[in-house]
Structure 1
């Protein structure tokens, strides 16, 4: 469902108010330095506010949210650098369970996702990484070397090839796996997960490989668009922080913002922010098209947004000077978040190559 502008404004306002009051940089820093890689209290709050059910249908108390409805949430995820597994659990994992699971599986799993008692971690959908895992008689074998939020997951949602070589999606309880937990460069948790013939529950009993592949492609597109929204939130935060800094930081008796060269650089950053916002919107709107028609738009947006966001990050660090790389300033944390996001859900190079390939194919078909 695509929400109207009034509902989007209300959702955006409530998310912004909560994070302003309860998830500012200092409180996030406390989470970053804690034993857990996320805030348990924040996760409970998200469940209470209904954020974890946004992608579900009304039968489960959700909004059946599309990428436009998810936009305000994902932008705040970036703007506040939320540490919780919203993308992996509340967006990707929940969507896969709701689209592929049987009625019994949905009744069993979805309520635990809505109330936050279960967190999901997912191997990137839509990428060739599923080739690392194989399934035989509902037992999963293989190693997933980097699973975002795999350190805190209660269940894993894993695509794997079955004994017939067909792709299916399985749910595995975390206690049945062995995992090596670690922190990524931006502070979020991850894990290398080893599946040694562990018991797995296949999602759905009659899903064909073609159906599974189509669902994975759709959910992968939704996830990429959500990540574009998160990156847009980061870009807005960096542009705002840098503009504020240039207004108050003085050198030789004048604010840095009085320097014309820095004004030009700020103008370039602002233009990038506008471009990122426009491409994010275009990617969201393209989800109304078929996968074949939207793939070029989404890959092009993902590649351009990822690369230009890095330019904004570089400029923000440089214009803040030496403090731009310190642990105590949020700019360095945004920069690190961009580094990690650049390799999620397909690399920027992969999406650029896909964009070029699809553009050339489209051009040939028109002639």
Structure 2
């Protein structure tokens, strides 16, 4: 851990207080129909509060937050079902730029991102080799799903060059040769599929002492997995809380459902699952400081388990609520849909488990 506990606590508390006042379930519901899928005024407030500077170094006015600090923010993202592109534009894209961008590129882009003037999406598709090809200063390829790609101004796209080496390309959303098809995901967040047909791009130019692009891609993918597990922890913790409250107030045959011993046992199982998700997420956050092979085994195994465990928590929450649990008017269904979407982002369960097996056999 590099970020001190006091800073992490202040970061979490400030975001929790703001979202409690301005982002409850009904306030969030009124923003879902906006053209961007979220409220630009909220995004501007995030910038004013410094939350978009989470990953930036201190000399750029940032917090230089590590995986634990990022996790504190992502837990609130999950608990409040925030719609804004914090994962892509405040966590993953800055991570790529800080490792692979030149001083000029960092100065130009990071400040604009921290001030909320520029939204950047990390356009990657799972754990396989990059799907796009870079040749002759142009980009060719397709990416079927980019979270918040519908509202992004700029994309960071990993690609393979003519030597099949990984490079990172900067692509403007409105550039010639870029086709962006926007759509809404099942949890109502915005996304896009991207097609590049000879699109003119700018390569990130790493400094001499920078890690390789392939190493950076692996590390950023691990950061995505850890951040998504922290978000799943926020979702699962909220589902545990709201389900427990529901069982205490819902009456059947003159008694609250919580008096039913069978339901008590099921809630105990849910509590244990949430505790396991929390323990694995903390272990994954600490593993981000380890060498790539050891880090990869812990993170891919943890991510695969968290996806399954969180899905089980969601299933139990809906079943214990009964038919009302799947309605649009209840937050339980929205939490469940967020878990479904996050489960396939940046490497689904099967891809993560396969990677875990490969690392384990290698050891």
What TM-score results when the alignment is normalised by the length of structure 2?
0.96
- How many angstroms apart in 1 are the aligned matches of 2:289 and 2:304? 20
Partner of 1:31: 31
- How many angstroms apart in 2 are the aligned matches of 1:221 and 1:154? 24
Partner of 2:172: 173
1:114 deviation in Å? 0.7
- How many angstroms apart in 2 are the aligned matches of 1:58 and 1:125? 31
Partner of 1:204: 205
| 1:190/1:129 CA distance change after superposition, 3 Å | farther
User: What residue ranges of structure 2 are gaps of 5+ in the alignment?
Assistant: none
Partner of 1:15: 15
- How many angstroms apart in 1 are the aligned matches of 2:82 and 2:6? 25
| 1:209/1:61 CA distance change after superposition, 3 Å | closer
- How many angstroms apart in 2 are the aligned matches of 1:323 and 1:273? 23
- How many angstroms apart in 1 are the aligned matches of 2:221 and 2:206? 22
Given that residues 169 and 203 in structure 1 are in contact (C-alpha distance below 8 angstroms), is that contact kept between their aligned partners in structure 2?
A: yes
| 1:279-294 pair list within 5 angstroms | 279-294=280-295
Partner of 2:152: 153
1:285 deviation in Å? 0.7
1:128 deviation in Å? 2.1
Partner of 2:72: 72
2:174 is paired with a residue whose SS is helix
Given that residues 236 and 274 in structure 2 are in contact (C-alpha distance below 8 angstroms), is that contact kept between their aligned partners in structure 1?
A: yes
- How many angstroms apart in 2 are the aligned matches of 1:356 and 1:37? 38
1:27 deviation in Å? 1.3
Given that residues 135 and 161 in structure 1 are in contact (C-alpha distance below 8 angstroms), is that contact kept between their aligned partners in structure 2?
A: yes
1:3 deviation in Å? 2.1
What TM-score results when the alignment is normalised by the length of structure 1?
0.95
1:180 deviation in Å? 0.9
Partner of 2:138: 139
| 1:318-357 pair list within 5 angstroms | 318-357=319-358
Partner of 1:224: 225
Partner of 1:304: 305
* Residue 289 of structure 2 is aligned to residue 259 of structure 1: no
- How many angstroms apart in 1 are the aligned matches of 2:68 and 2:138? 37
User: What residue ranges of structure 1 are gaps of 5+ in the alignment?
Assistant: 363-367
Given that residues 100 and 207 in structure 1 are in contact (C-alpha distance below 8 angstroms), is that contact kept between their aligned partners in structure 2?
A: no
Which segment drifts farther, 202-211 or 185-194? 202-211
Paired residues, what number?
A: 361
Q: Give CA-to-partner distance per residue, 1:125-173, whole Å, 9 cap, x none.
A: 7722522x11123211222121111100000100111233221001111
Q: Give CA-to-partner distance per residue, 1:215-255, whole Å, 9 cap, x none.
A: 11111111111111000000000000000000111111110
| 1:205/1:359 CA distance change after superposition, 3 Å | closer
1:356 deviation in Å? 2.4
1:128 is paired with a residue whose SS is coil
